[in-house]
Amino acid sequence: MSIENNNEFRPKIVAFCCNWCSYAGADLAGSSRLAYPADVKIIRVPCSCRVNPMFILRAFEKGADGVILCGCHPGDCHYTTGNYYARRRMTLLFSMLDYIGVENGRTRVEWVSAAEGVKFSQTMNEFVEKIHSLGKNVRLGDLRCKN
């Protein structure tokens, strides 16, 4: 099954999706056959507020080229307030990553409801395209090197 064309950059993209809105939105994208690149792999979490900034850093450090977090729209969180906390945490984290010189297009938050299969697919297509334009992530794998 070795199909890897070494010339072609295939990014590793982790998508954290909340169970109630975005994961269902991804399911809807699937059942509506709305394609997006296979580079995106989804991890299901109960709520966007479950995503520890550490998970995102971990993904980058392990070689992810992009990390996207999808949750319910503000005001629609299944747990009432989870996405508000997630929004603040991610804003600060993304700002910090930008500050240390990690290209800010590698991280993204998008609010996708259970009914927005189209938006989910569009978002993923856009995001993959963005990561393609940024190329391989080397910086977060290489923040501290002793030479």
Partner 1 sequence: MQRIGVFVCHCGSNIAATVDVKKVAEMALLEPGVVHAEDYQYMCSEAGQARIQAAIKEKNLTGIVVCSCSPRMHENTFRSAAEKAGLNPYMVEIANIREHCSWIHKDMEEATKKAVILARAAIAKVNLNAPLKPGESLVTKRALVIGGGIAGIQTAIDIADAGYEVDIVEKTPSIGGRMSQLDKTFPTLDCSACILTPKMVEAAAHEKITIYTYSEVEAVSGFVGDFTVDIRKKARYVDSDKCTGCGVCQEKCPSKKSLSEFNRGLNTRSAIYTPFAQAIPNVPVIDTDACIKMKTGKCGICEKVCQAGAIDYQQKDEIVTQKYGAIVVATGFDTIKLDNYDEYAYNQSKDVITSLELERVMNAAGPTKGHLERLSDGKHPKEIVFIQCVGSRCADNRGKSYCSKICCMYTAKHAMLIRDKYPDVNVTVFYIDVRTPGKNFDEFYRRAVEDYGVNYIKGQVGKVIPQPDGKLLVQGADLLDNKQILKEADMVVLATAIEPNPDVRKIATMLTASIDTNNFLTESHAKLRPVESPTAGVFLSGVCQGPKDIPETVAQAGAAAVKAIGLLAKDKLLTNPCTAKSDQLLCNGCSTCANVCPYGAISYEDIEVNDHGIRETRRVAVVNSALCQGCGACTVTCPSGAMDLQGFSNRQIIAEVDAICR
Partner 2 sequence: MQELVSRAKELLANGTVERVLGWKAGDLPYNPEPAYFYVEEDFDNFVYNGFCGANLSKYMIEASKMEGKTLVFLKPCDTYSFNQLIKEHRVDREKAYIIGVGCKGKLDIEKAKKAGIKGIESVAGADMSDACDTLTFQTIYGEKTCAYADVMLERCHVCKGKEHVISDEVIGESNDTKDAERFAEVEKIEAMSPEEKFAFFQKELSKCIRCNACRNVCPACSCRKCVFDSTKFDSAQKANVDSFEEKMFHVIRAFHVAGRCTDCGECSRVCPQGIPLHLFNRKFIKDINEFYGEYQAGADTDSRGPLTNFTFDDVEPSIVTERG
Interface with partner 1 by CB under 8 A: which residues?
1, 3, 12, 14, 19-21, 23-24, 26-27, 29-31, 33-36, 38, 41-47, 49-55, 58-59, 62-64, 72, 75-82, 85, 89, 113-116, 121
Closest CB to partner 1 among residues 136, 147: 136
Q: How far apart are CA 119 and CA 113, in angstroms?
A: 9
Q: Minimum Å distance from CB 14 to partner 1? A: 6
In a 13 Å sphere around the CA of 86, the CA atoms on its Cβ side amount to 31
Q: Output the CA angle 146-92-89, nearest 5 degrees.
A: 115
Give the H or E element holding residue 109.
strand 107-111
Q: Minimum Å distance from CB 33 to partner 2? A: 28
Closest CB to partner 1 among residues 38, 146: 38
